Amino acid sequence: MENRYGNSFAWVVLFVLMVFGGGCSAIKDTPQVDKGPVDTTRLLSETTPEIEALYLAWLDFDQSRKDLKFLERGFLFDPDDRQLGYLQKIGLYLQDASVRMKSSWDQLSVFQYIRPEWMRDYLTLAGRTLTDSVEEIAYDQRFVSIYAEFMANSAIRKEIDRTQNQLEKAVDALKRVHEKILPYTQTGTGIQAHFSPLLVFQG
């Protein structure tokens, strides 16, 4: 699987700049809309419950993912090593989704540390990152579903379905957070414009 975690260091640098007085210019294709400073108190009041719900949803999903990973050892001596291979591939896609979900939460959980004058830029970039995360997780979900069709063990299939359901709940929580921060971004683009292409992969 390709390595798609290369932006972690960039987010650390961005966070340091936001906290200690630096900043980032708006992305070139983002319309410059002067909406004034963000009311941080209101932002935290509106987003904190959803961000906490996102974290709890991620915890439930990640535990389901780990439980499924544990079941791999039952296939180590199976005559048909393809079953182990399919399950391992499923595990890799679920791990990718988990890392992305946790990374999104990390970026959302530091609002109180961002300087007010840079908050809108930070939220704009965070909103774009959330969009990218949901799109990439949708690919993970699609490939998990594909490989799940090849699993012959009904009990394993049931565990995969349970894990996918937990992931779907976490993705829904991520989208709700996105809805909350959207009015505070530079663009204010509707969430459907971000997520409508993903409907193909969610069924």
What pLDDT is attached to residue 35? 62
Whether 117 has a pLDDT exceeding 50, the answer reads yes
Q: What is the mean pLDDT of residues 107-123?
A: 91
88, 72 contact by CB (below 8 A): yes
Distance of alpha carbon 138 from alpha carbon 60, whole angstroms: 18
Q: Could you read off the pLDDT of 174-190 as tens digits, one per residue?
A: 999 999 999 998 865 44
Phi, psi of 120 (to 5 degrees): -65, -40
pTM as predicted = 0.73
Average pLDDT, the chain: 80
Q: Is the pLDDT of residue 55 over 70?
A: yes
12 within 8 A of 138, measured Cβ to Cβ: no
Query: In percent, how much of the chain has pLDDT > 90?
Result: 58
26 pLDDT band, cuts 50/70/90, is: very low
pLDDT band at 17 (very low <50, low <70, confident <90, very high): very low
What's the rounded mean pLDDT across residues 86-112?
95
Q: How confident is the model at residue 199 (pLDDT cuts 50, 70, 90)?
A: very low
Question: What CA–CA distances, in Å, run from 110 to 6, 12, 39?
Answer: 20, 11, 15
**pLDDT greater than 80 at residue 200:** no
Whole-angstrom distance, CA of residue 31 vs CA of residue 138: 28
Which of 5-19, 69-83, 174-188 has the weakest average pLDDT?
Answer: 5-19
pLDDT in tens, 123-153: 999 999 999 999 999 999 999 999 999 998 8
Tell me the pLDDT band of 7, cut-offs 50, 70 and 90. low
Give me the mean pLDDT over the 37-45 stretch: 90
At residue 8, the pLDDT reads: 53
